[in-house]
């Protein structure tokens, strides 16, 4: 393909003023952050991108060029990349989406930009392809990091802008992209040290995946903003006055934590939002640098603890021993006015640059050639270790390995020779052994910590000196998986266990096949699975494994098969409260999924010839926000979008996902049910039914109540028009005197 010099210079291209202004603003941002800027390079990259995308439109209908311009701006403002990478960001989609070839990019802009764009094209193709599993996508990402870190940095900016503009996509696509962002890109941004970028990705994902919780937190922070700002000023005032009097040059501000961190704290502490108090933090950034800056951080900490009482157990020193991504800061928590806990971060301007821009702050450019410092080498070592590790059987295992420890705090331990190793909090001597070398991990039989023998499950602490004792006869113990925490140890132990298990299963299958042939028993794979379940094995593989290892006599299986074929087995159903509730739940599901249910639209169209079933892992009912999963039989299984299995299905098996929604039929009501608990007082049931049927004009189908020791539990099945109607019902019932809890009637059942 040939482009004329007039296009490269922009003289024959009609460009809207707003796009020229955007490029000028982009270049100005480069001038503000870079020592030198090749403005001609950026303009030429823009002209080519504008021409290549001249007929392209985004889902919103806007000209496509808006996207690469926004990505380039994020590269400058949020990540701090150089002009070469900015040019690559402007061109990042042209090879994949337009007629522009990689050879043209190489000839026009040079090898560096061509290699970045080639890496981005390969990543983009991986994530669009429905044939490639998530594990392979992760490997492609990591390979791109190992070749040129700027590939993944531009990908971060690309994902950021896409997340900001998801509104024009279908709910199905929004959920897939948000899930992928939450499961992969946000943890990876954390590992890179991009705290600000990670926080925004987390919040944007939460707004899609759990809009109700996002809205609740947003409203709460908005309603309390005046009180919070007032408190922050009261806290900051004495600190600011003292630092000024001591002659420090600094900036100090308070900020709310990001929505997702508040949400995670609610889940971790199992508390409602009203009981989460430490929702903001104070940051002090000092203008001093180098050794003086590190000393000043400690002086400011001393001043701060003179003014407010510190909580020693909440102190963290990342100045003396930085995190593996180079992050440095002093963290502490103090008791501020009114005895409220306040989190504080103390750092220098240089440390702040690393905290905000992560490994990009360590990435130096000289004459177009990238080179890394020690922090970057540490990160790339982590990438290489993951690439060199064994490939697990399941894609989900690799993704878990990849994400493992991304959010964890770190400890620092020493070898007998005094070498420093960084491990996650909770690491054991086995983790340490694998960190030293895989063979050391495989053959470790014991460990000494600070000169004393300890169990291999012992949790190490910062400052420990660890010595590993090995034996050539030792092999990994499956129990190690229960306490190791590092990706390297877990993946290699699990790989060894899987290999050993596979051999045992194959041996067991061979043993049974020979015995069955001698006994004249013909069977299918499906029948073998059924027999395994009836013999109380979780699956066929476990049955064969125990036969192969000698823990289950194959004669017993043959006897069982003969007996089961001569008489029908009887199902026994218990009469426990759990069994009764399960039966009640099954009855409700049958009612909800068959009574007045509207038709399902698959890919926006009504298909009466496709079988659909409801997933038992999340038990969707008409009216829920759902998606479809094509099962092996060809039927479509309906899952709720917030099903716990949704991330695994959406990321690892996207080729089997189809958009599904309920048809919008007028005056159609859905059957739903609520479970309630509270005090067994006279008239409480009447009060509840009054709220439902009279105040909210809702038709009740059935109601059941059980009372034990002054406490009642009840289930109400009723008709609602939509999920908003259901939410209003829950809120109103909660206000009834004596009610302690109201929640949607659900039962979680693992799908195997």
Could you give the dihedral angle defined by the CA atoms of residues 627, 628, 629 and 634, in that order, rounded to the nearest 10 degrees?
A: 180
Report which secondary-structure segment, H or E, holds 388: helix 374-388
Residues in a beta bridge with 465: 414
Residue count of the chain: 752
3-state secondary structure at position 183: helix
Is 350 an active-site residue? Answer: no
Query: Whole-angstrom Cα distance, residue 28 to residue 83?
Result: 11
Catalytic residue among 39, 77, 96, 136: 96
Contact 707, 690 (CB under 8 A): no
How many other CB atoms sit within 10 Å of the CB of residue 285? Answer: 20
Q: Which of 21, 32, 62, 97 is catalytic?
A: 97
* Per-residue DSSP letter, 318: T
Distance CA 576, CA 370 (A): 67
Tokens 């709310």 found at: 256
Tell me the C-alpha distance between 171 and 660, whole Å.
10
97: annotated active-site residue: yes
Helices 349-357 and 195-209 cross at an angle (nearest 10°) of 40
CA proximity to 746, closest of 524, 585, 542, 605: 585
User: Do residues 486 and 424 lie in contact, with contact meaning Cβ atoms separated by under 8 Å?
Assistant: yes
| Eight-state DSSP code of residue 433 | H
Straight-line distance from the first to the last Cα atom of the chain, in angstroms, rounded to the nearest whole number: 53
Q: Are 676 and 705 in contact (CB under 8 A)?
A: no
What is the phi-psi region of residue 162: left when phi exceeds 0, alpha when psi lies from -120 to 50, beta otherwise?
alpha
Q: What gap in Å lies between CA 89 and CA 116, rounded to an integer?
A: 9
Specify burial of residue 354 (Cβ count, 10 A radius: 0-12, 13-18, 19+).
Answer: buried
Answer yes or no: are the C-beta atoms of 696 and 726 closer than 8 Å. no
The H or E element spanning position 218 is helix 211-223
| DSSP state at residue 465 | B
Rounded distance between C-alpha atoms, residue 740 and residue 205, angstroms: 31
Residue 594 corresponds to which tokens in the numbers above? 């068959």
Helix (H) or strand (E) holding 43: helix 39-52
Where does residue 468 rank: exposed (0-12), middle (13-18), buried (19+ CB within 10 A)? buried
Which position has the token pair 């089997």?
Answer: 656
Sign (positive or negative) of CA dihedral 690, 691, 692, 698: positive
What are the distances in angstroms from CA 81 to CA 197, 357, 364, 366?
A: 14, 9, 10, 13
Number of CB atoms found within 10 A of residue 384's CB: 13
CA 51, CA 10: separation in Å to the nearest integer?
A: 9
Q: Say how far apart CA 52 and CA 102 lie, in whole Å.
A: 13
Q: What φ, ψ does residue 60 adopt, rounded to 5°?
A: -75, -10
Residues with catalytic function: 96-97
């Amino acid at each position: 393909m040939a482009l004329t010099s007039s296009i490269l210079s922009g003289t024959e291209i009609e460009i809207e003023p707003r796009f020229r202004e955007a490029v000028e603003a982009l270049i100005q941002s480069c001038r503000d952050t870079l020592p030198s800027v090749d403005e001609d390079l950026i303009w030429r990259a823009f002209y080519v991108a504008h021409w290549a995308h001249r007929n392209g439109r985004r889902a919103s209908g806007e000209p496509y060029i808006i996207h690469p311009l926004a990505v380039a701006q994020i590269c400058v403002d949020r990540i701090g990349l150089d002009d070469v990478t900015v040019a690559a960001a402007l061109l990042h989609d042209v090879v994949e989406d337009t007629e522009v070839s990689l050879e043209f990019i190489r000839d026009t802009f040079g090898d560096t930009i061509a290699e970045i764009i080639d890496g981005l094209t390969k990543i983009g193709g991986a994530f669009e392809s429905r044939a490639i599993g998530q594990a392979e996508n992760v490997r492609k990402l990591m390979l791109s990091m190992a070749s040129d870190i700027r590939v993944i940095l531009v990908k971060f900016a690309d994902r950021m802008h896409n997340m900001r503009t998801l509104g024009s996509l279908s709910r199905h696509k929004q959920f897939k992209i948000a899930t992928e962002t939450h499961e992969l890109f946000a943890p990876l941004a954390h590992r890179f040290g991009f705290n600000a970028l990670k926080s925004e990705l987390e919040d944007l994902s939460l707004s899609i995946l759990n809009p109700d919780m996002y809205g609740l937190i947003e409203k709460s922070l908005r309603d309390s903003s005046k009180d919070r700002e007032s408190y922050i000023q009261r806290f900051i005032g004495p600190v600011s006055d003292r630092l000024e009097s001591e002659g420090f040059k600094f900036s100090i501000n308070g900020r709310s934590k990001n929505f997702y961190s508040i949400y995670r704290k609610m889940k971790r502490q199992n508390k409602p939002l009203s009981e989460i108090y430490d929702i903001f933090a104070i940051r002090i950034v000092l203008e001093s640098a180098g050794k003086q800056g590190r000393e000043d951080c400690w002086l400011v900490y001393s001043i701060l603890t003179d003014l407010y009482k510190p909580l020693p157990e909440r102190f963290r020193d990342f100045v003396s021993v930085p995190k593996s991504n180079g992050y440095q800061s002093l963290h502490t928590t103090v008791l501020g006015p009114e005895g409220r806990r306040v989190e504080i971060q103390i750092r220098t301007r240089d440390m702040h640059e690393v905290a905000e821009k992560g490994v990009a702050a360590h990435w130096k450019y000289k004459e177009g050639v990238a080179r890394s410092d020690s922090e970057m080498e540490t990160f790339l070592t982590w990438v290489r270790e993951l690439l060199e590790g064994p490939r697990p059987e399941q894609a989900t295992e690799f993704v878990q390995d990849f994400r493992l420890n991304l959010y964890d705090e770190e400890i620092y331990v020493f070898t007998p020779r005094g070498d420093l190793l960084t491990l996650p909090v909770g690491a054991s001597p086995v983790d340490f052994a694998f960190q030293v070398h895989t063979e050391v991990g495989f053959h470790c039989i014991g460990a000494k910590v600070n000169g004393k023998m300890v169990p291999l499950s012992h949790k190490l602490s910062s400052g420990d000196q660890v010595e590993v004792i090995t034996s050539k006869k030792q092999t990994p113990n499956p129990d190690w998986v229960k306490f190791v925490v590092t990706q390297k140890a877990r993946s290699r132990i699990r790989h060894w266990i899987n290999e050993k298990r596979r051999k045992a299963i194959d041996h067991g299958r061979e043993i049974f096949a020979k015995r069955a042939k001698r006994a004249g028993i013909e069977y299918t794979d499906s029948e073998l699975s059924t027999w395994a379940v009836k013999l109380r094995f979780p699956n066929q593989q476990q049955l064969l494994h125990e036969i192969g290892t000698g823990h289950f006599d194959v004669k017993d299986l043959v006897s069982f098969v003969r007996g089961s074929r001569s008489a029908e087995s009887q199902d026994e159903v218990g009469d426990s409260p759990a069994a009764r509730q399960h039966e009640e739940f099954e009855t409700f599901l049958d009612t909800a999924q068959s009574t007045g249910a509207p038709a399902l639209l698959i890919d926006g169209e009504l298909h009466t010839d496709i079988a659909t079933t409801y997933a038992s892992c999340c038990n969707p009912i008409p009216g829920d926000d759902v998606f479809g999963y094509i099962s092996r039989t060809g039927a479509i299984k309906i899952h709720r979008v917030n099903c716990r299995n949704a991330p695994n299905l959406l990321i690892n098996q996207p080729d089997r996902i189809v958009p599904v929604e309920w048809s919008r039929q007028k005056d159609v009501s859905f059957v739903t049910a609520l479970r309630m608990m509270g005090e067994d007082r006279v008239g409480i049931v009447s009060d509840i039914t009054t709220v439902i049927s009279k105040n909210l004009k809702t038709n009740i189908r059935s109601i059941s109540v059980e009372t034990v020791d002054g406490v009642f539990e009840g289930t109400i099945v009723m008709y609602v028009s939509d999920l908003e109607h259901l939410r209003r019902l829950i809120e109103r019932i909660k206000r009834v005197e004596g009610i302690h809890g109201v929640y949607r009637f659900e039962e979680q059942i693992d799908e195997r």
